[in-house]
Amino acid sequence: MTATYPVGALCSTCYHHRRRNPRTCVECGNTRIAAGRTSEDGDLCGPCSGRPDLHTTCRQCDYPGDIYANGRCTRCAITDRVTHLLAGPDGTIAPPFQPLADALTQAEKPWSVMSWLRTSAAAGLLDELTTEHTEISHGLLDRLPQSTITRNVRHHLVMTGALPERHETFARLELWAIATLEALPPHQSRIVSPFSEWHVIKDARRRAERGRYTPGAAKADRGNIRAAILLLNWLDQHQLTLPDLHQEDLDLWLTQNPTRRQAVHSFVRWLTKRKLTRPLDTQLARKGFPANFQTDDEHEQQLQRCLTDEALPRELRIVGALIRLYALPIVRIKEITTSQFQLNDAGAFLTIDRHPVLLPPTLARLIKAHIARSQASSMLKPRASSGPDYLLPGRHAGRPLSAGHLIKRLRNHDLPTRAARNTAMINAITELPPIVVSDLFGLSAATTFQWAKFAQQNWTDYLALHK
């Protein structure tokens, strides 16, 4: 318990909520801290409930409540702190930092901003930047250690318009590659640098420009470069050069590094194509067909849970249903924006790729309610032009929830993802022509063909067993 108001004893959460959110008093009509309640559950201010001492206003802006210190509200106190944080040696805020200053002082949750200013290491980094620089750029931040703190600062600057947007996943790959290659001895750098720049990063840049470069793809690309370095290190240890590398040498390395077989494959192909080594084969195993499925009953029961179980968090119900109805991977679900959901006289539709798909009424109501009520928990509101409004907004403004976070939460609620998606895909491919599945779900023709082949093979085996 923190305080006793006419309305009763208040815990810390309720106390701060009332002080930060003044309401209209039903007796005097003024907007003040709601200290009491009428018999009809109407709000009463402090003076009207017999406690004039509970009526406080900011001495600077007359805001009726939320006094932070020295008689001033949180927002007024923030203005001074932000000026102190972002102002240069001359006491003024440089134009490049002004958008961030405006966003901080006008935030919808000023108490969150105050906490961030007081405790965040990112605020400390901003203080250093504004003290030493009058201009801000991605290049300036790129020269700093790429920690969570630096990424936090960059995100706030981008979201408020102080920095232009860029494909951050791809940019991090480039920064990592530069730092990694600089640490290599010259004879290795002469090999890995062109492989990295003209093979790995060039392809990553092309995918990023199409908007299809994911953190998972960046992880795989870093793995390819690491595998190349490991192979060259092994050659150095065994006093071998690339022209000396025979198939039996590569097989020995693969035996000692079995988890690197897939990653080193592109490097070996690149070496062979450029005749830097003799023809070599990493002997990649062909991808097998999926083996993780659910029974029809399991699939249906979990779908019904997602659609009807109000004890489940709404965002998990939406994700779980989209997986089980349309075989969508989570990495695509998290990128869905509110503009892809449309209501008209014909029903509710979700544009998954290029074509709108009719949604079941229950799922449509879930998505409609989620759009109406959900909001990002970020202390800063992104600019209207800063990017799409995600259906599943994340902790940071302008970003969706992460795929790993969603998978973990679904698993904790006994809603597996891979088996459910495989089952949904096999159901779709047996009921619809592959070209229709490809168009509706936004899958490549090769992927849908493989699924169709798998479904046909299983159906042939089933008929053979039941002759």
Q: Are residues 91 and 186 in the same domain?
A: no
Whole-number pLDDT of residue 381: 66
Give the CA distances from residue 344 to residues 308, 348, 360, 414, 439, in Å, rounded to whole numbers and listed in that order. Answer: 23, 6, 14, 34, 22
Q: Are residues 118 and 205 in the same domain?
A: no
Q: Is residue 288 part of a domain?
A: no
Q: Are residues 201 and 143 in the same domain?
A: no
Domain boundary among 159, 188, 209: 159
Half-sphere exposure of 82 (CA within 13 A, CB side): 23
Q: Does position 282 have pLDDT exceeding 90, yes or no?
A: no
Total domains, the chain: 4
Q: Are residues 324 and 454 in the same domain?
A: yes
Q: Are residues 135 and 215 in the same domain?
A: no
Q: Does position 418 have pLDDT exceeding 60, yes or no?
A: yes
Domain boundary among 256, 273, 290: 273
Q: Which amino acid is at 387?
A: G
Q: Does position 286 have pLDDT exceeding 60, yes or no?
A: no
Q: For the ranges 80-94, 309-323, 382-396, which has the lowest average pLDDT?
A: 382-396
Q: Are residues 328 and 443 in the same domain?
A: yes
Q: Does position 305 have pLDDT exceeding 90, yes or no?
A: yes
Would the pTM of this model clear 0.85, i.e. be above it?
no
Q: Does position 467 have pLDDT exceeding 50, yes or no?
A: no
Q: Are residues 38 and 89 in the same domain?
A: no
Q: Are residues 206 and 230 in the same domain?
A: yes
Q: Are residues 368 and 410 in the same domain?
A: yes
Q: Are residues 320 and 458 in the same domain?
A: yes
Q: Are residues 240 and 324 in the same domain?
A: no
* CATH number for the domain that contains residue 409: 1.10.443
Domain boundary among 214, 247, 273: 273
Give the CA distances from residue 246 to residues 238, 251, 253, 269, in Å, rounded to whole numbers and listed in that order. Answer: 13, 9, 11, 14
Structure token pair of residue 196: 């990295």
**Over the stretch 29-42, which tens digit does the pLDDT of each residue have?**
999 989 888 888 89
> What do you get for the CA distance between the two ends of the chain, in Å?
74
Q: Is residue 295 part of a domain?
A: no
Whole-number pLDDT of residue 465: 39
Q: Is residue 299 part of a domain?
A: no
* Structural domain boundaries enclosing 241: 168-273
